[in-house]
Amino acid sequence: MAKIGFIGTGIMGLPMAENLQKAGHQLFFSELYKKTPKKLLGVQGTALATPKVVAEKTDYIITMVPDTHHVEDVLFSDTGVVQGLSRGKVVIDMSSICPIKTKEFAKRVALLKCEYIDAPVSGGEVGAKSATLTIMAGGTETAFQRAMPLFESLGKNITHVGENGAGQTCKVANQIIVALNIQAVSEALLFASKAGADPQKVRDALMGGFASSKILEVHGQRMLDRTFDPGFRIRLHQKDLNLALSSARAIQMTLPNTANTQELLNSCAAQGNSELDHSALITAIETMADHKLKTGDS
């Protein structure tokens, strides 16, 4: 079994670390940024002082932190991962960050004769807990095959998308599709409600047709039940769409519908809802419509 450094034990990282331990791997955690949850410590979990020491003790180092600057700090600070790397080790970033910066990070790690894989995930907290995440990997084929046993402990749909940066590019594309689908479901259900139809029955009918989707199934029901406890927070989806829009500018293209959806998320944040689940995007449309989603029971 592998010795793995794992940095980032938040909503997603904690169950991912648990699943690696269930698969028999030995994990080492950094105490520099956040205390390691006690449930991860013991025979298969050790807390160390810094990312540097974590890298020295392990063959694989996984980062699962919120944003690009967090990854850069974990990797390249004075006590960062690269300070503890030696030839042949593998750095795996499973955060969702900037594809352009990812390529830069990979080149800096390669100078140390180590491998870098960008492997962001989709599936939310539910997928992290059930080890059914979709994993989109960028890096060499050799590194991808070395990391596959780890990925198989975390997810089901595991794809080597291409070279470094391709994994993050794929994740940005995923977040565009998810955001626009949430907006579409929000508008459709709210339209049905304001027009006098029962949106619960409308959703049920649509689930059997071409409009059916995972977003309609899961987030459509969340909207109807008004259960906006975070699985994936609005502020994090704002971050991901910022990555999409900035990356699009860099390659000189426009993403008009992505920009529109980002403005709706910005409106939610302005209303104090940035910590709610991204399905709460419907609240911005409700405000503009002067109508709250109503079911036959409400």
Rounded Cα gap, residues 70 and 64, in angstroms: 9
In whole angstroms, what is the distance from residue 71 CA to residue 67 CA? Answer: 7
How far is Cα of residue 114 from the mean position of the Cα atoms in its chain?
24
- Alpha-carbon distance 214 to 218, whole Å? 6
CA angle 162, 165, 170 (to 5 degrees): 70
- Residues 171, 214, 292, 294: which is the catalytic one? 171
Tell me, yes or no, if 171 is annotated catalytic. yes
Q: In degrees to the nearest 10, what's the CA dihedral of 28, 30, 35, 38?
A: 0
Among candidates 194, 183, 182, which has minimal Cα distance to 293?
Answer: 194
What is the helix, strand, coil percentage profile of the chain, to 5? 55, 15, 30
Tokens of 160: 């080597």
- Longest CA–CA span in the chain (Å) reads 65
Q: Which one-letter amino acid corresponds to residue 107?
A: K
The alpha carbon of residue 120 and the mean position of all alpha carbons in its chain are separated, in whole angstroms, by 6
Q: Report the catalytic residues.
A: 171
